[in-house]
Amino acid sequence: MAHASLWQRCLTPRATIPKTLTWSAGIGIWLVVIALWSLVTYSGLVRSIFLPTPTSVLSTAVSMIGDGSLWKDIWSSAQVVLYGFLLSSVVAIPLGILMGSFRLAQAFLDPLVNFMRYLPVTAFVPLFILWIGIGIEQRVTVIFFGIFFQQLVMIADISRGVSQDLINASYTLGAKRRDVVTHVLFPACLPGVIDMMRVTMGWAWTFVVVAELVAANSGLGYISLKAMRGFQVDVIFLSIGLIGLLGLVTDQFFRLLRKRLTSWAL
């Protein structure tokens, strides 16, 4: 298929396409979305009290950046996501690898983990408020509980998937049990762990809004809620758009990290 025309390549499963086309298509989808959005708002098809025009969202953004309030709210949310995510990952990654590799660790943790991971974190929010109050600690706790048990299960699966052959090879080269953990299991899990972080980071962003809707005095979820009370639908849109954008940025970050740290795996 190397000499097929561009059209044919676009229609061939898994055939590669030129970089410029990839970029154009990626921008294209947004042009379509913005065009449709403009169409239904500027034409008056949908009332601006429900759906703001692109320009009104943009001017809101400019004015909120101008008075500095937007940065404060972005940072407030990002901080919560970051702390909750890092805290969870730092505990879940080693514990998950342990769980996937040591039968006793699995036997001990599995019953609790499988119970906890089916409970919606939202059910705990009232409890957290009662226990921890409404400070940032409470929101970080929501993120932590929202992703921790999922992370644990995913990492345990990843480490269980490490080839026994690699472990055996390592032993025959003189590795001790400790070496197998640090020099086989950890590096072998790295690509999977980064992929897992990419996925759960997305979940962390969804939980931050839940946390802020209930108890916060800053953050993107919080300004959304406040805007609802004042019928400022443009602010709600801005907040949604920003969360999406931040998600996109962190996603790219993990993509890059994956490429940099695990170029050996492709």
Partner 1 sequence: MGALNDGEIMRGGIQPSMLHTGSRTCLDIRQIGLTFSSGQQSVTALEDISLQAAENEFAVIVGPSGCGKSSLLYLTAGLIEPTSGEIRVNDKRIDGPGADRGMVFQAYTLFPWLNVRDNVEYGLKRRRLPAAQRKEIVEYYLREVGLERFADAWPRQLSGGMMQRVAIARALANDPDILLMDEPFGALDSQTRLSMQQLLLNVWGHNSKTVLFVTHDIDEAILLADRIYVMSGRPGVISRTIEVHLPRPRTSEIVMEKHFLDIKREILGILHHDDT
100-108: which pairs have CB atoms within 8 A and are 24 or more residues apart?
A: 100/155, 100/156, 100/157, 100/158, 100/159, 100/160, 100/161, 101/159, 101/160, 101/162, 101/181, 101/185, 106/156
Both tokens of residue 175? Answer: 């590795």
Please report how close the Cβ of residue 198 comes to partner 1 at its closest, in angstroms: 19
Cα angle value 170/173/176 (rounded, 5°): 65
Nearer to partner 1, 184 or 220 (CB): 184
What residues from 102 to 161 belong to the interface with partner 1 (CB under 8 A)? none
Please report how close the Cβ of residue 13 comes to partner 1 at its closest, in angstroms: 23
Q: How buried is 264 (Cβ within 10 angstroms: 0-12 exposed, 13-18 middle, 19+ buried)?
A: exposed
Nearer to partner 1, 16 or 163 (CB): 163
Q: Which stretch binds partner 1 (CB under 8 A): 7-15, 44-52, 153-161, 181-189?
A: 181-189
**Which residue from 33, 35, 65, 169 is in contact with partner 1, where contact means CB under 8 A?**
169
**Which residue from 165, 229, 230, 260 is in contact with partner 1, where contact means CB under 8 A?**
165
**Which residue from 81, 140, 188, 233 is in contact with partner 1, where contact means CB under 8 A?**
188
Nearer to partner 1, 93 or 220 (CB): 93
Please list, in sequence order, all residues whose beta carbon lies within 8 angstroms of the beta carbon of residue 262, skipping any fewer than 6 positions away. 190, 191, 194
204: enclosing H helix or E strand: helix 186-214
Regarding 163 and contact with partner 1 (CB under 8 A), the answer is yes
Please list, in sequence order, all residues whose beta carbon lies within 8 angstroms of the beta carbon of residue 120, skipping any fewer than 6 positions away. none
Please report how close the Cβ of residue 265 comes to partner 1 at its closest, in angstroms: 6
Please report how close the Cβ of residue 190 comes to partner 1 at its closest, in angstroms: 7
Regarding 82 and contact with partner 1 (CB under 8 A), the answer is no
Binding residue count for partner 1, defined by CB under 8 A: 23
Burial 2-40 (b: 16+ CB within 10 A, else e): eeeeeeebeeeeeeeeeeeeeeeeeeeeeeeeeeebeee
Regarding 45 and contact with partner 1 (CB under 8 A), the answer is no
Contact between 157 and 93 (Cβ < 8 Å): no
**Which residue from 171, 198, 203, 251 is in contact with partner 1, where contact means CB under 8 A?**
171
Regarding 264 and contact with partner 1 (CB under 8 A), the answer is yes
Regarding 195 and contact with partner 1 (CB under 8 A), the answer is no
Q: Which residues bind partner 1 (CB under 8 A)?
A: 163, 165-166, 168-176, 179, 183-184, 187-188, 190, 262-266
